[in-house]
Amino acid sequence: MSKAVIAIHGGAGAISRGQLSPQREQQYVAALSAIVEKGQQMLEADASALDVVTEVVRLLEECPLFNAGTGAVFTSAEQHEMDACIMDGNLLQAGAVAGVKHLRNPILAARLVLERSPHVLLIGEGAEQFAASQGMEQVENSLFSTPERYQQLLQAREAGETRLDHDAAPLDERSKMGTVGAVALDSMGNLAAATSTGGMTNKLPGRVGDTPIVGAGCYANNASVAVSCTGTGEVFMRTLAAYDISALMEYAGLSLQEACERVILEKLPALGGSGGLIAIDREGNVALPFNSEGMYRAFAFAGDAPNVGIYSE
């Protein structure tokens, strides 16, 4: 049996050493370290991969450093619309929500869709009504707001742009980084993946990216791999990036690293796509490729010291 392992990400983009202050860098490292260690502890206690990715992404949603849950970016209408997806590699079950405004932890709503509904994806008010019927608290949309995110909206408006939160140029101390996700292999050999996001700054109300689309931003299959993506969502959707990793492994016989490089370094850039992904295959191999300057990331095997990174090594 392969050793249990978890990997997490907090977004990929124009992240360079010259743009992050040492204090801000340490905040990201500390957050990533604490959260990946929590997942590691759960795996060491024989928790399921599905439970581990659920809890780890919930913690990432609670951290205002990242663009998911608290700290989500603003739409052009000055609101927050969030998306999330979770997938169980054992039974190929998935649950997702899109465009939710009043659920503190969208990933928990996605888990409810997986376990307690006959559907895979619920959107907007319907998703919120379903979550409420299952006991989830409704919160004010302003709960997710931070002053830094509002400044990003004003800057994007002034520039006449819809932008990924990590694409501010130049990046400064007020900028916050992207989509969050987790993938895990548990002691029983099961894989799971989860992804959550606030989307793009100044996006049109109703815009949905790759995050809640099974196979685009999130995918898990015990026969191959678990994947969580971050980057230019429209291109990840057009290429079915997460599923493509699995397909290249299953049908073309590529290794995890080969499949990831084909998608992230060749297919996505050919269509103008930037970003990265985290992936764990059924053997416990880990890949964290990105074609941008950096990606907030961490991974940890059960019993080993965690590995945390931000920049291209």
Residues annotated as part of the active site? 179
Q: What is the DSSP letter of 205?
A: T
DSSP E strands in the chain: the ranges are 5-13, 82-88, 93-100, 121-123, 180-185, 191-197, 218-220, 225-231, 275-281, 286-287, 294-301, 307-311
- Is 238 annotated in a binding site? The answer is no
- Is 231 annotated in a binding site? The answer is yes
- Is 186 annotated in a binding site? The answer is no
- Bridge partner residues of 185 (DSSP): 5, 191
How far is residue 83 from each of residues 19, 62, 80, measured CA to CA in Å? 28, 15, 10
- Is 210 annotated in a binding site? The answer is yes
Distance of alpha carbon 116 from alpha carbon 95, whole angstroms:
9
- Is 135 annotated in a binding site? The answer is no
- Is 99 annotated in a binding site? The answer is no
Distance of alpha carbon 212 from alpha carbon 141, whole angstroms:
20
10 closest CA partner among 202, 271, 229, 305: 229
Residues annotated within the binding site for substrate are: 207-210, 230-233
Residues annotated within the binding site are: 207-210, 230-233
